[in-house]
Amino acid sequence: MSMKAYIAGVSKYLPTNTLTNEELVLDYPEWSVEKIFSKTGISSRHIAEGNETVSDMAVSACESLFDSYNVDKSNIDFILLCTQSPDHLLPTTACIVQHKLGLSTTCGALDFNLGCSGYVYGLSLAKGLIETGQAKNIILITSEQYSKYIADGDKSVRTLFGDAAAATLISARESATDLLGPFLFGTDGSGAENLIVPHGGSRFPITSESSVEQSDSSGNRRAPKNLYMNGGEIFNFTLKSVPESVNAILEKAEVKKNDLDYIVFHQANKFMLEQLRKMCKFEKERFLTSYQNYGNTVSSTIPLGIADAVDNKVFKSGDKILVLGFGVGYSWAGTIITWS
């Protein structure tokens, strides 16, 4: 037997502040509570307080993980932090988290900037570090605060996105078979401008014009420093890439669709997920959803769904779980988790 990477625990952190549909209609009187819910399937989302950062949320998720699974912090030898809303342009937020958690200075730490596919990418990175003998216990953190980029007057994204963090412990154990994998990745950067914060990087640094809001054809107001999403183009990309990716993963893993016990997709919104579920021909019982009280939390949606399933004792040892993330980039990634 050789050492294989496996998921040893998952915990989540949600900001205490929430934004409900009842609160949103006060800002958007042309919409009703029922209309927001029917379009998105989301009833509320957690929103970070003004002084709460991605590292704060990451630390809270990790502390929950340590407490829930009785983790000895001295055994953690690597942090992988996925975020698109870091504390600073530099330094690396993972380094800040290492210090706040009091982890050993022999611990590796890195950030990676991916959105909806990021959790699966992180599982792959952790598997590589563990199965090449570079680490034994890795914390994969997803921590996202898209709310910091969203204009109050832009209901096209404000109704969808929430903030959340999750921490996953990935450890080494002896096994004759893979417990994570195989993996599938995809990238199409031609869609980069369809989900973007235009200003704030080196291409378009922040200037006085970055805060000037304009209205689009649907009456949504946003500035170049704010998040923009072309929902129609994102939807079209998803309908094309996701069913193809599911088939490719199953073929690569030599697994049949009926051999899967559960499916956890990136939780974009109700309409998109229902379309994908039907196209992929997954029964509702196996197709887990968690967006209703969280919204789209970007890279945190998949681990939030897994954490909820663990809390509700849904998974049993040996279950095969297909996970697939897709969106901003365009980027997509999928794998099969064997629960243990």
Does the annotation count 296 as an active-site position? yes
Give the list of residues 6+ apart from residue 320 with CB closer than 8 angstroms, or none: 255, 259, 260, 261, 262, 336, 337, 338, 339
CA angle 24, 296, 298 (to 5 degrees): 135
Burial class of residue 212, CB neighbours in 10 A (0-12, 13-18, 19+): exposed
Does the annotation count 99 as an active-site position? no
Phi, psi of 27 (to 5 degrees): -90, -25
Active-site pick, 62, 82, 116, 280: 116
Q: How many CB atoms lie within 10 A of CB 281?
A: 9
Tokens describing residue 194: 């369809």
Give the list of residues 6+ apart from residue 110 with CB closer than 8 angstroms, or none: 79, 80, 81, 92, 94
Active-site pick, 194, 220, 266, 269: 266
| Closest to 303 measured CA to CA, from 117, 71, 93, 103 | 117
Tell me which amino acid residue 315 is: F
Strand 262-265 versus strand 320-327 pairing type? parallel
Active-site pick, 137, 194, 226, 296: 296
Does the annotation count 116 as an active-site position? yes
- Rounded distance between C-alpha atoms, residue 208 and residue 222, angstroms: 14
Residues assigned a catalytic role = 116, 266, 296
